[in-house]
Amino acid sequence: MTTDNILQLPIDILVNIFKLLNIKDLHNVMLTCKLLKDLIKNDNTIWRHLSRDKLIIGYSDKRRPNELWYNRCRTSQNWCNGYYRIKLVIKHYTNYMPWLTFHNSEILLVSVGSELHCYPTNRKGTPNCREALWKVEVPKIPRHDVRTNDISRFIIKNDIIACGNRDGCLAVYKLNNVRKRPCLQYHVQDCHKKGAVEVTAVEVFDERNQTIVVTGSSNSSELQFYGLKKESDNITYICKGNDKNLFNISMYETAGTKCMALNSTSDKLAIGLTGNSRPILLDVNNPRVLMAADTTKNRKEAVRDIQWHDDNTLLYVTHAGNLHLLDIRTHEMVYHSWDPFRAAFYCVKSDGQYAMVAGSAEYSRCVLFDTRKHIHHVQMFFTQKKASPVYSLDFDPYQLITAIDRGVSVLDFNINTTFEEPKDYSQVFH
């Protein structure tokens, strides 16, 4: 009788053997004993090798934390196969058009009407929305129309929170600690057309000794650049639009700004237009247009959301339900896909690698795409039982957070699938 035992083999030999197995066989090996289970789970080389051709979900803010690849592969497979649990974390009874960001996967910031709410995460990393860390309400000024002072979009960057409001104003908050309530530093009134139109897009960057805030409106062809000097935190400055205006840039006469995104080096600003199916690119340091969109004007079109997929590629979605990746070096489209039901897209996020998630205008639905698959989507997620658009979303490898008109939901992919029924909508509809 032989006394040979596979456990007596060197670890590197075992790892090379396990690399030859598929996921199902590895799972069976893990069930044999705790030692082999721990070895397989904790060796990243095995799972990197197995996941070469698979879609591995990353972080939408392009962070690269040190995590076990076993967990990344497990949750990514749940994304692709439709295994998740839905939890409604925020619910209200008034229709809003909220915006949210999951800051560093640690803090959830979400706009609820004219208020900005900040929520912590629990030990699993899921937003805990039972009680807010802090809430702020943007200042209100009277308007002679039906507009409210609801927050249309906001951005958190460089210890600044800048909120573009539907009443045509800009509120800038100084943030010393994201878990502590920020203080209002600037309130800029009448940003575009003397306050007659709402602020629909906002960006922030630093230049020399001051912070620059850029605002745009879907009903104005001008971008406004405001220089906010770094003053005392205890002073709040209230000013008219022209008081802080460094300069403005007039784009196409009939086009407005629907969205904008600054690249990682803060020198190029991508601008999504109304009345056009392509964005334009602006040099921030020497204000000039680097990439125009003269040939794609269309009154029925709009770029609804845009972000940088990487330093050379723009990701954006349109009102016609198209999703594009555009190479700014060649001005050529390198990826094109669309909503499975041809509905409009409202928002989009990317992990900077292969995963892209877009929020649809119908039935609280999100769509997962892979940049390597040009033909069709990977999976669809119905995030709530409402016929609302998904106005905003954010994600990390373990969860997808979406905001619709009456609430915010979290899709948890970090689950045991043994007793779960898949919600698989990967079918292609012709």
In this prediction, residue 43 carries a pLDDT of: 87
**Residue 243 reports pLDDT greater than 60:** no
Q: CATH code for 138-249?
A: 2.40.128
pLDDT of residue 228: 78
Q: What is the pLDDT of residues 363-408, one digit of tens each?
A: 999 999 999 987 789 999 999 888 899 999 999 999 999 999 999 9
Give the per-residue pLDDT at 227.
82
Nearest to 171 by CA among 192, 146, 154, 157: 154
Residue type, 102: F
pLDDT for residue 76: 94
Question: What is the percent of the chain where pLDDT is above 90?
Answer: 51
Predicted local distance difference test score (pLDDT) of residue 324: 96
- Per-residue pLDDT for 73 more than 70? yes
The reported pLDDT for the residue numbered 357 is 97
pLDDT tens-digit profile of 187-210?
988 888 888 899 999 999 887 777
The contacts of residue 234 (CB under 8 Å, 6+ apart) are 183
- The reported pLDDT for the residue numbered 103 is 92
d(CA 380, CA 340): 9
Is 149 a residue whose pLDDT tops 70?
yes
The tokens 């079918």 sit on which residue?
427
Residue linked to tokens 């539907």: 166
What is the mean predicted confidence (pLDDT) over 254-274?
A: 90
Compute how many other C-beta atoms are within 10 angstroms of the C-beta atom of residue 175. 18
pLDDT band of residue 8 (cuts 50, 70, 90) is confident
Higher pLDDT, 257 or 300: 257
- 8 versus 48: which is more confidently predicted? 48
Residue 242 clears pLDDT 70, i.e. is over it: no
List Cβ neighbours of 427 (8 Å cut-off, separation of 6 or more): none
Quickly state the pLDDT bin for 155 (edges 50, 70, 90). Answer: very high
Most confident listed range (22-26, 45-49, 123-127, 179-183): 179-183
Q: For position 340, what pLDDT does the model report?
A: 92
* Mean pLDDT along residues 175-181: 91
Instruction: Flag whether pLDDT at 245 surpasses 60.
Output: no
The domain locations on the chain are 10-78, 138-249
pLDDT, average across residues 74-85: 94
The per-residue pLDDT for 317 is 96
Tokens 């998904």 identify what position? 390
**Which pLDDT band holds residue 1 (cuts at 50, 70, 90)?**
very low
- What angle, 0 to 180 degrees and rounded to 10, lies between the N-to-C axes of helices 69-81 and 34-42? 80
pLDDT bin (cut points 50, 70, 90) of residue 2 is: low
Estimate the crossing angle of helix 23-30 against helix 34-42, to 10 degrees: 140
Q: Is the pLDDT of residue 246 over 80?
A: no
Residue appearing with tokens 């039972």: 130
Q: For position 152, what pLDDT does the model report?
A: 94
Beta-strand relationship, 322-327 and 313-318: antiparallel
Q: What's the pLDDT score for residue 252?
A: 63
Output the average pLDDT for the chain. Answer: 88
pLDDT at 294: 77
